A and B are shown apart, each in its own frame.
Chain A
Amino acid sequence: MLNNASHSSPATTNQRRHLQDRAFKLLVKAAALLSVLVLAGIFFLLIWNGFYMFKEVSIWEFFFSSEWNPGALKNPQYGIGGMVVGTMLVTIAAMVLAFPLGIALAAYLSEVASPLMRGFVRPLIELLAGIPSVVVGFIGIVVVGPFLAQTFNLPNGFTALNGAILLAIMALPSIVTVAEDAIRAVPRSYREASYALGSNKWTTLIRVTLPAAGSGIIAAGVLGVGRAVGETMTVLMATGNALEVPDSLFDSVRTMTATMAIEMGEVPFGTTHYYSLFAIGATLFIMSLLFNLTAEYLAAKFRRLS
């Protein structure tokens, strides 16, 4: 009988289940191992190649000189100070723009917007993250840059500010979504307690809800920083790539990422110049690793609290 057949050998069924279980575990373990290996591979490639450069260049010159002229036949120079300053300037300016706006948007979505409005706005913001960076860079060239040049009476719009505005737009989605989740996770009872003590919506938001969501909000900011530091195409297209230490947001800057992207294609293999680009990559990698670890740590701390 059919019914009997399927129940006839419980031992085999058990064995098959056991096998499935093991195969599945093995598969998942392999996937995890693979991603760890790829990550470790990238890391060691960067460190290893970057390390070669320090045979020729002192650590001091690399980090603290702003003279970058690695292609010169006589007396090449390998200082990335200018790029680091440029990268930090663009990133910080982007955050000054994106962080308050992102938190305000997150607060609006979680505390003020009707469910209908939220269902409309949040996907829209998430869609922003899907715009290819080259398209954002393009907008910087044809829209934001010319606008800045006209408004501030500059010879051209390829400035740190241009890059910062574009990066702000690109960092906004991650800031808003992470911050909104953090604000929503604040227990309703905190808000009720605040209202019951005679405070209004605004006071409750500023003095209770946002502080309670604090570490999640900081994590959102740090994630945004990580996104801005690592972005390449947009800043490459929008900031003019001048190799100088910028005096202000209206100066052209060249970021670390842009330098790598511009020079990697033409550099002769195995030269100090070649290795120095890897050293920049390693520096960036460590920077964004630190940012992400901080964000992860803060987010974990927040989860424990709530």
Chain B
Amino acid sequence: MTDKLVVRNLNIAFGEKQVLKNVSITFPDQKIVALIGPSGCGKSTLLRSLNRMHDLTPQAMVTGEVLLDGHAILGAKVDVVDVRRKVGMVFQKPNLFPKSIFENVAYGLKVNKMGDKNLIRARVEEAIKSCYLWDEVGDRLDKPALELSGGQQQRLCIARAIAIAPEVILMDEPCAALDPISTLKIEELMLGLREKFAVVIVTHNMQQALRVADSTAFMYLGELIEYGPTTEIFNHPQHELTQRYIQGAFG
């Protein structure tokens, strides 16, 4: 088992507000890691630092290290575009572009100039198929993507993310806006993604972490409290805060 992403002593502050406090954690390849914790604990911030989305917040102050395959990805000298090409992301709400189904999945391939027309078409098809969406949209790729249902949209977002062949997939509460059936489909999909990618998922849903995650990290007030195999975290939490959180004592 190789470590895909290594986070060392990461501190992030937005203005006066310290959101991450000296967090160190490693994410192995071909595993799913769930980040859990109450709102405002910094789990989304940690996730977004893994592909430099915090760059979009101008007042973010960052110290510490994030290594992807041993190479630093923080810092001004690093090519952000390259990092984001390797570390894909799926957001809380489906955020497809107001373009056709095909154009949405092809977008990343086109802006990264990954192949000619035929190759792009083949890759779009492959990505949609591996998200179990082909049967549903294969015959109407030129239709507006925003006409799809919420669950289909989110699966298409995943297809869009994996089309450019990233190495890591980050998911920020990907099922928060979905119904239970769609949620199950996404989870099934995640388990498939694990074969190829390192997957990191932020979730508020304890059951979801139990169902899909190999390891789980519990965060509280910007600190990493406990991190270990999911069954251990849920059955034998070492820390009192963890125990109270997974029992639903606060949230």
A interface residues with partner B (beta carbon < 8 Å): 187, 189-200, 203, 207-208, 211-212, 305
Contacts and interface: CB of A to CB of B under 8 A. Distances in A.
A194 B91 CA distance: 12
A212 B97 contact: yes
Contacts of A211: 98-99
A189 B93 contact: yes
B111 interface: yes
B84 A195 contact: yes
26 contacts: A189-B91, A189-B93, A190-B95, A190-B97, A190-B98, A191-B56, A192-B53, A192-B91, A192-B95, A193-B91, A193-B160, A194-B97, A194-B111, A195-B56, A196-B51, A196-B84, A196-B88, A197-B161, A197-B164, A198-B81, A198-B108, A198-B164, A203-B111, A207-B111, A212-B97, A305-B98
Given A196-B161, A197-B111, A199-B81, A187 B53 contact: no
A190 B94 CA distance: 10
B112 interface: yes
Given A197-B164, A198-B81, 4 more contacts: A189-B95, A196-B84, A197-B85, A198-B84
Interface in B120-143: none
Contact of B112 (A198, A208, A305): A198
A149 to B, nearest CB: 47
Contacts of A195: 53, 56, 84
Given A208-B97, A212-B97, A212-B98, A198 B82 contact: yes
B210 interface: no
Interface string B8-23: 0000000000000000
B120 to A, nearest CB: 13
A197 B95 contact: no
B200 interface: no
A195 B112 CA distance: 11
Contacts, number: 66
Interface in B51-99: 51, 53, 56, 81-82, 84-85, 88-89, 91, 93, 95-99
Contacts of B99: 211
Q: Which of A192, A195, A196, A203 has its CB near the most chain B CB atoms (within 10 A)?
A: A196
Interface string B100-120: 000000011001100000000
A187 B108 CA distance: 19
Contacts of B53: 192, 195-196
4 smallest CB-CB distances across A and B, nearest first, come from A198-B85, A197-B108, A189-B95, A196-B89
B51 A194 contact: no
Contacts of B56: 191-192, 195
Q: Which of B81, B96, B99, B111 has its CB near the most chain A CB atoms (within 10 A)?
A: B111
Contacts of A190: 95, 97-98
Given A189-B91, A199-B81, A200-B81, A194 B107 contact: yes
B98 A197 contact: no
Contacts of A212: 97-98
Nearest to B107: A197
B198 to A, nearest CB: 16
Contacts of A198: 81-82, 84-85, 108, 111-112, 164
Contact of A193 (B81, B85, B97): B97
B167 to A, nearest CB: 12
B160 to A, nearest CB: 7
A212 B157 CA distance: 17
Nearest to A186: B98
A199 B88 CA distance: 12
Contacts of A197: 84-85, 88, 107-108, 111-112, 160-161, 164
A19 B85 CA distance: 66
Nearest to A204: B111
Contacts of A192: 53, 56, 89, 91, 95
Interface in B154-201: 157, 160-161, 164
Contacts of B93: 189
Contacts of B85: 197-198
Nearest to A197: B108
Contacts of A200: 81
A296 B82 CA distance: 42
Contacts of A207: 107, 111
Q: Which of A190, A191, A198, A208 has its CB near the most chain B CB atoms (within 10 A)?
A: A198
A160 B206 CA distance: 70
A204 to B, nearest CB: 8
